[in-house]
Amino acid sequence: MTDPQDAIDAESTSRAAERDPRIRERTAGERQEGIPFIGAGPGDPGLLTVTGKELVEAADLVVHAGSLVNSELLEEYCADAEQVSSIGKDLEELVPLMRDAYEAGRTVVRLHSGDPAIYGAALEQMDALEHEGVPTYIVPGVTAAFAASATLRTQLTLNGVANHVAFTRPRGKTLDPEDDHVGEFVEMGDVTTCIYLGTHAVAETMDRLLDDGHDPETPVTVVYHASWPDEAVIEGTIGTIGERLEAAGYRASALVIIGDAARKAGYERSYLYGDWANRDSTESEADD
């Protein structure tokens, strides 16, 4: 097997020279040749897409993201398939595992939590497989932030409150302090900041925001295991959430939302069902 980094570099170089022709030929959601990288959604088996479910049901080998994928989903949709957790496996192990099974004529799917495009490290596996001659494609899923907003019965964008959404993560083993932009998003004021991979670091992140002069009353909402049976919501502010989360004892698998949108307060009716609804519909397209 080619060294994964060399495979990634080679695939990047070839893409720089010529756009992947499949981008024009195939639409997202279309069944394709190769190994699908499927977004399993946030946890509830019902939040897997129809296409994802059908592909998982038909699989002989399901390589999944361990505890991030609800075992209920695996039991419900692929109890008879061989199931392998990717946790603790490097590319050197994962890529030959999937390649060999695919080349042996088995139906292989790769199941990521949420959507593979968000903190999923899917592309490096796809590039390494493609370099080995195994085609791949993506079947999108419901990312944790969307499940959390549904849990909170709100919108991440809310007229008069939040015009933007940031999907981000805090500094840590894989992110240098200078690449941590949580404070900048909060500073903008009208951004709903969704922090992935930061449950264990909430207290430190909030302390940094306080040190940088952010308003301690800014709302922070933590949604643990959105859509799972043990889902939990902890509400607080930049000043209080660290202690509250510590008391609740969650150290992983939660989404941290900073901003007023999580509280649904203070928003205004939108133009869509106001002035826009009453104007000539040929003027321009309205957003949903």
Ligand X SMILES: C[S@@+](CC[C@H](N)C(=O)[O-])C[C@H]1O[C@@H](n2cnc3c(N)ncnc32)[C@H](O)[C@@H]1O
Using rule CB under 6 A, residue 134 touches ligand X: no
What SS3 class is residue 258? strand
168 Cβ partners below 8 Å, 6+ apart? 181, 182, 185, 193, 194, 195, 196
- Using the rule CB under 6 A, is 43 a contact of ligand X? yes
R_g of the chain, CA atoms, integer Å: 21
- Nearest residue to ligand X, by Cβ distance, number only: 114
Report the C-alpha gap between 112 and 185 in whole angstroms.
27
The pair of structure tokens assigned to 246 is 């510590």
118 binds ligand X (CB under 6 A): yes
By CB under 6 A, is residue 202 in contact with ligand X? no
d(CA 160, CA 287): 16
Site string (154-193) toward ligand X, x via CB under 6 A = ----------------------------------------
Answer yes or no whether residue 259 interacts with ligand X by CB under 6 A. Answer: no
Closest CB 253 distance from ligand X, rounded Å: 5
Question: Which phi and psi (to 5°) does residue 211 adopt?
Answer: -60, -35
Q: How buried is residue 248: exposed, middle or buried, by Cβ count under 10 Å (0-12/13-18/19+)?
A: middle
Total interface residues for ligand X by CB under 6 A: 26
4 or 120: whose CB is closer to ligand X? 120
Q: Which of 4, 114, 170, 219 binds ligand X (CB under 6 A)?
A: 114
Q: Does 64 bind ligand X (CB under 6 A)?
A: no
Phi, then psi, of 241 in degrees rounded to 5? -65, -30
Q: Which is closer to ligand X, CB of 120 or CB of 236?
A: 120
Spatial strand order of the sheet with 191-195 comes to 164-168, 191-195, 254-258, 219-224, 232-237
Give yes or no for residue 120 binding ligand X (CB under 6 A).
yes
Q: Whole-number minimum distance, CB 60 to ligand X, in Å? A: 24
Q: Which of 37, 102, 119, 250 binds ligand X (CB under 6 A)?
A: 119
Among 86, 113, 149, 192, binds ligand X (CB under 6 A): 113
**Minimum distance from CB of 169 to ligand X (Å)?**
8
Output the six-digit token pair for 19.
Answer: 């756009």
Is residue 191 within 8 A of residue 166, CB to CB? The reply is yes
Cα–Cα distance list, 80 to 56, 59, 76 (Å): 11, 9, 10
Selected from 81, 129, 147, 245, the binder of ligand X by CB under 6 A is 147
Give residues 72-111 in contact with ligand X (rule: CB under 6 A).
none
Whichever of 38 and 197 has its CB closer to ligand X, that residue is 197
- Residue 108: partners with Cβ closer than 8 Å, 6 or more residues away: 35, 59, 60, 61, 63, 98, 101, 102
* Smallest distance from ligand X to CB 181, Å: 16
225 lies in the site for ligand X, by CB under 6 A = yes
d(CA 68, CA 65): 6
Q: Which residues bind ligand X (CB under 6 A)?
A: 42-43, 68, 112-115, 118-120, 143-144, 147-148, 196-197, 199, 223, 225-228, 252-255
